[in-house]
Amino acid sequence: MTAIDDARALFRTLTGTEPAGAWSAPGRANLIGEHTDYNDGFVLPFAIPHRTYAAAAPRGDGRIRVASTFAEEPVEVALDELDRLFPSAGAPAVPEWAAYPLGVAWALLSRIDGSGVSGIDLAIASEVPVGAGLSSSAAIEGATATALDAVWGLEADPVALALAGRRAENEAVGAPTGIMDQMASMLGVADAVTFLDCRTLEARSIPTGFADAGLEVLVIDTRVSHAHSTGGYRERRASCERGAAALGVAALRDLSVADLPRAQALLDPVDFRRVRHVVTEDQRVLDTVAALTDQGPRAIGGLLVASHVSMRDDFEISTPELDLAVETALAQGAVGARMTGGGFGGAAIALLDRSLVAPVSDAVHAAFAAAGHAAPHVFTVTPSAGPRRDV
Ligand code: GLA
């Protein structure tokens, strides 16, 4: 069974009736621009073919019930209780998985007069690998937001739905993440990357040209799982905020490479390296957009590699498994490779000739086995479309 069938079957088990429809939203990979989003900077992600599905139907009693193939038990609350449950950062009032869809409902209702909306049942199933750095969370938020928007007749625009997803993640789940993942999911276009200014939320689709150039994107999921609600992600964000404050700017986006000597004089060595990553990464995003547009996808390899090196050495969010994945892909002739997503585990991507997909996959498996790492999960992804109604 596919995930959409799973979602519809779960809905029938939950309610004994057919859903009114099923809606879905994709996960994402990021071509380049990591940890720049919450610094008001630039990112260049794309939606992947893997999607999360929400089967849904209205109900008459003003209650919301969510069920997921991740969990044994559904969670049900009155819509007018959501304001009491959230924000709940730090002490989730509901199981963590349920805070994503319920948080989206809460965030959407907070924007409108919710007195007229119906109750709703939602059954969720996903084919986006969890903990792989491919934004399974943004896919849940996006599928839920798209289903609620349709059932409640909100006609919200994709940016408003993306913002509701981020609010759920920040304030209902308690993960201090930026806006990249939700925007990548909601604005996905086939064979294109989304060039997003995270300060203005202006977005532009840029054709990748990968297919015409005979290139594929290989995802190497190291299966080292990560969570952004704790630890390293929060610390990195705090370093960036300290750096911006010390340099007297609203966000690191307001600095350029020319400001780095001043940053070095003002900051401790660790915060300086964090700042240097973000400032140079913003520039690499701009350079990647220019290279893609003017010269084509084979010209971006060096930028992808420089981004990985910066995350490994300056931002210190890579892992031995991610480094090995990148090094092995490059040694086999990939155009470029880098870890993607928040780091501390998850996946790397490699841009490579179609003929290299099998040899690089084999080489990565062999290298992981030789290093004593668990077997990675290796597959290709094509930049794909955003949310949709499936049934
Ligand atoms: C996670 C977060 C994003 C972004 C990336 C790093 O995926 O959800 O907001 O910060 O990490 O680029």
Q: What is the pLDDT along the chain (391 residues), one digit of tens a residue?
A: 699 999 999 999 999 999 999 999 999 999 999 999 999 999 999 999 999 999 999 999 999 999 999 899 999 999 999 999 999 866 678 999 999 999 999 999 998 887 889 999 999 999 999 989 999 999 999 999 999 999 999 999 999 999 999 999 999 999 999 999 999 999 999 999 999 999 999 999 999 999 999 999 999 999 998 766 568 999 999 999 999 999 999 999 999 999 999 999 999 999 999 999 999 999 999 999 999 999 999 999 999 999 999 999 999 999 999 999 999 999 999 999 999 999 999 999 999 999 999 999 999 999 999 999 999 999 999 999 999 999 9
The residues assigned a catalytic role are 181
Specify burial of residue 20 (Cβ count, 10 A radius: 0-12, 13-18, 19+): middle
Provide the 3-class DSSP secondary structure of residue 249: coil
Helix (H) or strand (E) holding 132: none
CA distances 249 to 39, 240, 256, 329, 337, Å, are: 11, 11, 11, 38, 32
**Residue 382 Cα, ligand 1 centroid: separation in angstroms?**
20
State the Cα–Cα distance between residues 9 and 13, nearest whole angstrom.
Answer: 6
Q: Tell which atom from ligand 1 comes closest to the C-alpha of 34.
A: 12
Q: Which CATH class is domain 3-204?
A: alpha beta
Per-position b or e across 43-57, b if 16+ CB within 10 A of its CB = bbbbbbbbbbbbbbb
The answer to whether residues 93 and 75 touch, using CB atoms and an 8 Å cutoff, is no
Q: Tell which atom from ligand 1 comes closest to the C-alpha of 175.
A: 8
- Judge if the beta carbon of residue 41 lies within 6 A of ligand 1: no
**pLDDT value at residue 227:** 66
Q: Which residue spans of the chain are classified as CATH 3.30.230.10?
A: 3-204
**Residue 181 Cα, ligand 1 centroid: separation in angstroms?**
7
- Judge if the beta carbon of residue 342 lies within 6 A of ligand 1: yes
Per-position b or e across 247-263, b if 16+ CB within 10 A of its CB = beeebbbbbeeeeeeeb
- Judge if the beta carbon of residue 341 lies within 6 A of ligand 1: yes
Q: Tell which atom from ligand 1 comes closest to the C-alpha of 180.
A: 9
All residues at 6 or more sequence positions from 97 whose CB lies less than 8 Å from its CB, including other chains = 68, 70, 71
pTM of the predicted model as reported, rounded to 2 decimal places = 0.97
**Residue 342 Cα, ligand 1 centroid: separation in angstroms?**
5
360 residue type, one letter = V
State the Cα–Cα distance between residues 122 and 391, nearest whole angstrom.
Answer: 14
Q: Single out the residue of 43, 52, 209 nearest to residue 127, CA to CA.
A: 52
CA distances 389 to 21, 50, 56, Å, are: 7, 15, 11
State the Cα–Cα distance between residues 173 and 324, nearest whole angstrom.
Answer: 32
DSSP 223: -
Token pair of 82 as six digits: 């959501």
CA torsion sign, 376 to 380 to 383 to 389? negative
Candidates 3.40.50.300, 3.40.190.10, 3.50.50.60, 3.30.70.890; CATH matching 208-381: 3.30.70.890
CA torsion sign, 144 to 147 to 150 to 152? negative
Token pair of 242 as six digits: 């300290």
Is the peptide bond prior to 387 cis by the omega test (within 30 degrees of 0)? no
For ligand 1, atom 2: residue with the closest CA: 177
Bridge partners of 377? Answer: 221
**pLDDT value at residue 89:** 63
**pLDDT value at residue 92:** 72
CA angle 296, 363, 328 (to 5 degrees): 55
Distance of CA 295 to the CA centre of its chain: 27
For ligand 1, atom 8: residue with the closest CA: 177
Token pair of 233 as six digits: 């992600």
All residues at 6 or more sequence positions from 259 whose CB lies less than 8 Å from its CB, including other chains = 247, 279
| Residue whose CB lies within 8 A of the most ligand 1 atoms, among 40, 141, 181, 240, for a mutation test | 181
Q: Which residue spans of the chain are classified as CATH 3.30.70.890?
A: 208-381
Backbone phi, psi, residue 120, to 5°: -155, 145
Q: What DSSP letter does each residue of 29-86 carry, written as one string? A: EESS--S-GGGT-EE-EEEEEEEEEEEEEEETTSEEEEEETT-SS-EEEEGGGHHHH-
- Judge if the beta carbon of residue 35 lies within 6 A of ligand 1: yes
State the Cα–Cα distance between residues 22 and 54, nearest whole angstrom.
Answer: 5
Helix (H) or strand (E) holding 172: none
Provide the 3-class DSSP secondary structure of residue 373: coil
